[in-house]
C-alpha cells in the first residue's frame, strides 16, 4: 500500500464541491460532516462523516457558503489514518469503528460504526478505512 502518512490510498472516488460553514477551516484529508443547515465542517470525535475533504479551506469564510470545499463521499475510497489513541492490531480487520477527530479513527469505538477497517499497518500504527454510508436522517 501507499507510503503516505494520512490520506487517500485507493478506490473509486466521488468528488463534488460543498458549501462551507462560516468560521471554520478544513484541511485536506479531514473527515467532514454537515451542520444542521447543510454546511460543511470538520468532524469532531464521534461525528458521522459525510465524506473526506479533498481540498482545503485555509481561510475561514465570514458567511455560510461563501467558500466551497471538494469532498469525496464514496464508500469505495480507502483512506489511511492514525488511531486517536492506542495501537492498531490485525484484529481490527473487518471491524466497524468511529471517527476519533478530523484526522483520526477511534479504533476502540463502534457506536456509530461509520468506518470500516480494510487493512492495518502495524509498524506505522495506521488503519486503512472506508466510509460506511448511513441512511439519511441517521
- Contact indicator for 98, 110 with CB cutoff of 8 Å: yes
Centre a 10 Å sphere on the Cβ of residue 47 and count the other Cβ atoms it contains: 19
Give residue-wise pLDDT tens across range 61-115: 999 999 999 999 999 999 999 999 999 999 999 999 999 999 999 999 989 999 9
Query: Which residue matches cell numbers 461509520?
Result: 114
Question: For the chain, what is the mean pLDDT?
Answer: 93
Please report the pLDDT score of residue 1 as a whole number.
40
Q: 56 is written with which cell numbers?
A: 482545503
pLDDT of residue 11: 95
pTM (predicted TM-score): 0.92
∠ Cα 117 74 15 (to 5°): 135
pLDDT of residue 133: 84
Take residue 47 and report the three cell numbers written for it: 461525528
Amino acid at each position: 500500500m501507499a507510503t503516505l502518512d494520512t490520506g487517500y490510498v485507493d478506490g473509486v472516488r466521488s468528488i463534488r464541491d460543498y458549501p462551507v460553514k462560516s468560521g471554520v477551516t478544513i484541511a485536506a484529508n479531514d473527515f467532514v460532516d454537515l451542520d444542521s443547515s447543510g454546511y460543511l465542517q470538520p468532524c469532531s470525535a464521534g461525528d458521522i462523516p459525510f465524506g473526506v475533504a479533498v481540498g482545503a479551506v485555509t481561510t475561514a469564510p465570514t458567511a455560510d457558503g461563501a467558500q466551497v470545499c471538494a469532498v469525496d463521499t464514496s464508500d469505495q475510497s480507502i483512506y489511511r489514518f492514525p488511531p486517536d489513541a492506542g495501537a492498531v492490531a490485525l484484529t481490527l480487520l473487518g471491524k466497524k469503528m468511529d471517527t476519533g477527530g478530523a484526522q483520526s479513527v477511534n479504533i476502540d469505538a463502534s457506536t456509530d460504526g461509520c468506518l470500516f477497517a480494510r487493512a492495518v499497518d502495524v509498524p506505522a500504527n495506521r488503519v486503512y478505512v472506508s466510509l460506511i454510508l448511513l441512511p439519511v436522517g441517521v
